């Protein structure tokens, strides 16, 4: 009974939260990719369910897969930019440390990839989020932290 109440409490508290699930040690740097129109259309087709691979099918290192169900992602316009972050975790199947990349585009759609960052060729410009005129579409809890009080 106690376990059921705890689970219910976790579900209720986490229901309104929208976030990427990044296992392991999240790296602090975020990069924003200002996408080429062609790659934006590829992501739109992926979000609309065309050419989408199952989460159990491997994808090439550096490629992205949609991390949202088709019902939630279908019908959004083609993204023009996305911000990516990475984490390093121990992959028990591969028995080694593994790089995981998570991205959120300007429409709020989520993507994931493994072992490599997306190539720079998908973007007209890549910049470090927060520097100069580089937007970030992915906010972290620590962005508003002002240190110990």
Residue 99: alpha-carbon gap to chain centroid: 13
Q: Which helix (H) or strand (E) holds 87?
A: strand 81-91
> Distance of CA 133 to CAs 27, 30, 34, 54, 79, Å?
22, 14, 12, 36, 18
pLDDT at residue 134 greater than cutoff 60: yes
User: Rounded CA gap, 27 and 101, in Å?
Assistant: 10
Pick the more confident residue, 37 or 45.
Answer: 37
Rounded distance, CA 10 to CA 79, Å?
A: 32
- Whether 56 shows a pLDDT value over 50: the answer reads yes
3 state DSSP class of 107 = coil
Nearest to 138 by CA among 98, 81, 89, 88: 81
Q: What rounded mean pLDDT belongs to the chain?
A: 81
Q: What distance in Å separates the CA atoms of residue 21 and residue 148, rounded to the nearest whole number? A: 26
pLDDT in tens, 82-130: 999 999 999 898 899 999 999 999 999 999 999 999 999 999 999 998 8
Classify residue 67 by its DSSP letter: -
**Model pLDDT, residue 34:** 97
Contact 70, 52 (CB under 8 A): yes
């Amino acid at each position: 009974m106690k376990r059921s109440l705890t689970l219910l409490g976790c579900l209720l508290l986490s229901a309104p939260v929208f976030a990427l699930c990044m296992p392991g040690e999240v790296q602090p740097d975020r990069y924003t990719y200002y996408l080429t129109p062609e790659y934006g259309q590829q992501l739109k087709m992926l979000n609309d369910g065309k050419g989408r691979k199952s989460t159990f099918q491997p994808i090439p290192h550096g490629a992205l897969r949609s991390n949202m169900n088709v019902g939630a992602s279908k019908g959004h316009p083609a993204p023009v930019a996305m911000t990516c972050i990475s984490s390093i975790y121990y992959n028990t199947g591969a028995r080694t440390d593994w790089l995981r990349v998570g991205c959120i585009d300007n429409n709020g759609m989520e993507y994931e990839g493994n072992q490599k960052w997306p190539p720079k060729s998908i973007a007209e410009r890549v910049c470090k989020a927060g520097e100069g005129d580089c937007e970030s579409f992915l906010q972290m809890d620590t962005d508003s932290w002002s240190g110990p009080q």
